[in-house]
Structure 1
Amino acid sequence: MNSQTTQKPEPTAAKPSYVKLAMRNMVQKGGTSVQHFALTAIALLVVLVGLAYLTR
């Protein structure tokens, strides 16, 4: 009799995608994520308008 038993690897659940993890994190943090997103959007607009003004 063979003393080694062959075990089938258990099927692992698929890892959640990066987007799904980011959405879950954003929901958990609540208003902080929305505030950071708004600040980033405003900063990007300021940079783009500033560059447009400088290179007119």
Structure 2
Amino acid sequence: MADPTTETPTAPREENPSFVKLAMRNMVRKGRQSLVHFGLTAVGLLAFLVLIAWLGRPQLPGG
């Protein structure tokens, strides 16, 4: 009899591309738009972090 551990079932990944592959393909297809959205996200995150740092700065006496 065949050992069930030696059988290798076909992986569903080969039939359905992974989320990362789909995202990369979409980013290549919509190159400029993806870069603009990535830039806006990066600027927004940086602005948010600077705002939080500014609001949470310590109040030093005498200064």
* TM bucket, shorter chain: 0.7 to 0.9
Residue 21 (structure 2) aligns with:
20
Q: Deviations over 1:10-44 (max 9, x none)?
A: x7742101000000000001100001000000000
Greater shift in the superposed pair: 13-22 or 39-48? 13-22
Q: Aligned Cα RMSD in Å?
A: 1.5
Count of residue correspondences: 46
What aligned pairs does 1:16-55 form with structure 2 within 5 A after superposition? 16-55=17-56
| Distance in 2 separating the partners of 1:20 and 1:51 | 35
Normalised by the size of structure 1, how large is the TM-score?
Answer: 0.75
Higher relative contact order (CA 8 A, sep 6+): 1
Give every structure 1 segment of 4 or more consecutive aligned residues whose post-TM-superposition deviation is greater than 6 Å: none
Normalised by the size of structure 2, how large is the TM-score?
Answer: 0.67
| Gap runs ≥5 in structure 1 | 1-10
| Distance in 2 separating the partners of 1:38 and 1:23 | 17
